[in-house]
Structure 1
Amino acid sequence: MSQLPRLISILTLLRSKRLLTATELANKYNVSIRTIYRDIRKLEEAGIPVTTIEGRGYSLMEGYQVSPVQFTEKEANALITAQHLVSQTKDASFAKDFREALIKIKSVFRTSVQEKIERLESNIRVFDFDYEDFSSNALSDIQLAITNLNFVEINYQKADDPNISFRKIEPYAFYSMNNKWILIAWCHLRNEFRAFRIDRIKHFKILHQKFEDRQFNLQAYFQTCPYKE
């Protein structure tokens, strides 16, 4: 890849990620770290406000805006396909937020690309043969609690248990299995990390109170902890 396409690509990455290291960029583009240093200087000379955070990496100055990114036809097709997959989720809040985000993304597509994706959109079907009756409407709010370190209070009902228990939790991560969203959180009732099916949360309240980050690592959790709720 020549320098100009690489500079454009680096700028796109900086817009999409809070922090990037020179090593990450060098590995991605298969160039030396010194080349990345030169690329960053070129961006700065072009008036791009790249901020260097000593010992951590590069980021863009808060609030900086550039012209809308132009999507390729293949990238646009990938987003349309993802829309159909997301539509199968059993969490209404997540599906709604994705639809609204995609409307904004579609607004920057070229007219020629928009015409093609409309054709593709009408010719995709995703079939779900999991007939278990479950749904939820909490994922979007819980995602905000994860990113902002807010305590959450929930009323939770385990499988095959008529009783509902009250929990105060610290939400950290979530994953999907068999179309079911699973929340990993520190449970103050059990005093350990627990997994909660989001569709089994009968009521929830996001608290303004913030918890101290326990530096949870999802990969390490999968290696050591079974599903517990």
Structure 2
Amino acid sequence: MSQLSRLISILTLLKSKRLLTAPDLAQKFNVSVRTIYRDIRKLEEAGVPVISIEGRGYSLMEGYQVAPMQFTEKEANALITAQHLVKQTKDASFVTNFDDALTKIKSVFKTSIQEKSEILNNKIYVFNSNYEAIASNALSDIQLAITNFNYVEINYRKANDTSISFRKIEPYAFYSTNHKWILIAWCYLREDYRAFRIDRILHLKILPQIFEDRKFNLLDYFQSCSYKEK
């Protein structure tokens, strides 16, 4: 769970219960008590009136309410439509995280917007004329590795090849084509940039070590060569 998701969950719990202790929260989210202390400070810095009762726990100031987010109907419709397009990606992790995020967003829609968004949701269908039974479950982890500059180890199977190769890579960017997600990464085996279809990654491990950014630019990459799928 990301820190943002945990902060939202802690705020929701504080709204629904009168008193919560740091150890209870730490156990619930499987983090350290020190991490919970940092989370509470983040909420306070964001203007949330968290009250600390020594020896008892945390609560919210009486009468505090989170202001509803003022989405227009068109903005809500765009999110509902995006949800249908996201489902075409065939990556389970990405679809799940988007659905979870949208559920949190929809919870603060005005009632009238919620009702209309449900009407629209039942009136959208996305056809895929070039259907291929592909699936992956790694995109969300890869996104984290890209933004945090973590090395990644993968077991990869090339097209029309039953052999599996081990690669250590620096993930830099990804794009979608024909409902397939393609990862561009520096490959230590090939000592060059390579493109990997994410649905052909059989195993992925994000390493804690950080690599030095090579200042990769996706547009420059496309302009300099067609992608190499190895």
TM superposition score normalised by structure 2: 0.70
Alpha-carbon deviation of 1:125?
A: 0.8
> d(CA) in 2 for partners of 1:179 and 1:82?
14
Compared with structure 1, are the counterparts of its residues 128 and 153 closer, same or farther at alpha carbon in structure 2 (3 Å cutoff)?
same
8 Å Cα contact 2:106-2:114 kept in structure 1 = yes
In the TM superposition, what is the alpha-carbon distance from 1:107 to its structure 2 partner? 1.2
Amino acid across the alignment from 1:186? W
Percent same amino acid among aligned pairs?
72
Alignment match, 1:75: 75
Query: What is residue 193 of structure 1 aligned with on the other side?
Result: 193
Paired letter, 1:64: A
**For residue 164 of structure 2, what is the aligned residue in structure 1?**
164
Matches within 5 A, 1:77-92: 77-92=77-92
Pair 1:216–1:63, CA change in 2 (3 A) = farther
Report what 2:138 is aligned to. Answer: 138
Whole-angstrom distance in 2 between the partners of 1:176 and 1:63? 38
The answer to whether the Cα contact below 8 Å between 2:167 and 2:187 also exists between their aligned partners in 1 is: yes
Shift of 1:69: 3.1
Output one character per residue of 1:171-217: Cα deviation in whole Å (capped at 9) or x when no partner: 01000000000000000011111110000111111111110111111
Q: 1:63 to 1:139 in 2, by over 3 A?
A: farther
Partner of 1:46: none
CA–CA separation in structure 2 for the residues paired with 1:164 and 1:226: 24
Mark the CA change 1:154 to 1:63 in structure 2 (over 3 Å): closer, same or farther.
Answer: farther
* Matching residue's letter, 1:187: C
Once residues 68 and 180 of structure 2 are traced to their aligned partners in structure 1, the CA distance between those partners, rounded to angstroms, is: 35
RMSD over equivalenced CA pairs, Å: 1.5
Tell me the CA shift for residue 89 of structure 1.
Answer: 1.5
Structure 1 residues not aligned, in runs of 5+? 1-61
The 8 Å contact of residues 68 and 109 in structure 2, kept in 1 or not, is answered as no
Distance in structure 1 (CA, Å) of the matches to 2:216 and 2:69: 34
Name the residue aligned to 2:109: 109
Deviation at 1:64, TM superposition (A): 3.0
Q: Distance in 2 between matches of 1:104 and 1:196?
A: 32
Q: Distance in 1 between matches of 2:119 and 2:211?
A: 47
TM-score normalized by the length of structure 1: 0.70
| In 2, Cα distance between equivalents of 1:221 and 1:67 | 44
The one-letter code matched in structure 2 to 1:126 is V
Q: Deviations over 1:74-95 (max 9, x none)?
A: 0000100111111111100000
After superposition, give the CA deviation of every residue in 1:141-185 in whole Å (9 maximum; x if it has no partner): 010000110000001111111111110000010000000000000
Aligned positions, number:
168
